[in-house]
Chain A
Amino acid sequence: DIQMTQSPSSLSASVGDRVTITCRASQGIRNDLGWYQQKPGKAPKRLIYAASTLQSGVPSRFSGSGSGTEFTLTISSLQPEDFATYYCLQHDSSPPTFGQGTKVEIK
């Protein structure tokens, strides 16, 4: 199985901060990666697909980059509604695997 190593596991940030989350795949996954946001008690919501394509309706402050084994999710200016847990998901090979999650908390 492909291992997805996500970092950091948590971070504290202030409204307006730039935030970057990284996922590293144990082997190349082309651009078969998505980023998800999950709030407590809710299902995950897809933000980014194909590593860098913004899901319709998602604010443009979210962006994704990378290919192969290194990927990043960037929030350019953190907003109050962005405090949540973020996960990466690879679907290049079966089984699909998630990163461990990054909890973004208020500083």
Chain B
Amino acid sequence: EVQLVESGGGLVQPGGSLKLSCEASGFTFSGSAIHWVRQASGKGLEWVGRVRNKANNYATAYAASVQGRFTISRDDSQDTTYLQMNSLEVEDTAVYYCTRNVPTTPNWFDAWGQGTLVTVSS
């Protein structure tokens, strides 16, 4: 069974940092790209960024709203992806989900984690 499990959310002050993790199981993690998507309370889904697989040089991309503040990385030996969030703003408060796509397959955002809540507040 394909599973993604996020962790690391919590309460942080504006300007602070937080690192989220997304642990995968049930599929070939190293062949997948992993994306982060967030959802503020009562709002829609917003793509945050992604890290591609080794064959695609672990290329990263980010939404304009987080560019320069967030960094996505991965450890294929641990089947885990990380989202390092720095200079956090109140507007970053949201549930953060990880999801996957497997290149050249229909598996685009077909599996999601349960989400982890990040609250940025003083």
Contacts and interface: CB of A to CB of B under 8 A. Distances in A.
A32 B107 CA distance: 11
Contacts of A28: none
Interface string B86-111: 00000000000100010000101110
Contacts of A55: 110
Interface in B27-84: 35, 44-47, 61, 63
A26 to B, nearest CB: 16
A96 B61 CA distance: 11
A100 B44 contact: yes
**Residues of B contacting A: mostly:** strand
B43 to A, nearest CB: 9
Interface string A73-107: 00000000000000101010011111111000000
A65 B24 CA distance: 32
B45 A94 contact: no
B44 A34 contact: no
Interface string A39-73: 00001111001100101000000000000000000
B112 A43 contact: yes
Given A87-B45, A100-B44, A101-B44, A43 B114 contact: yes
Contact of A91 (B46, B109, B112, B114): B109
Nearest to A32: B108
Contacts of B97: 43-44
Those 3 A-B pairs whose CB atoms lie nearest each other, nearest first: A43-B112, A98-B45, A101-B44
Interface of A: 32, 34, 36, 38, 43-46, 49-50, 53, 55, 87, 89, 91, 94-101
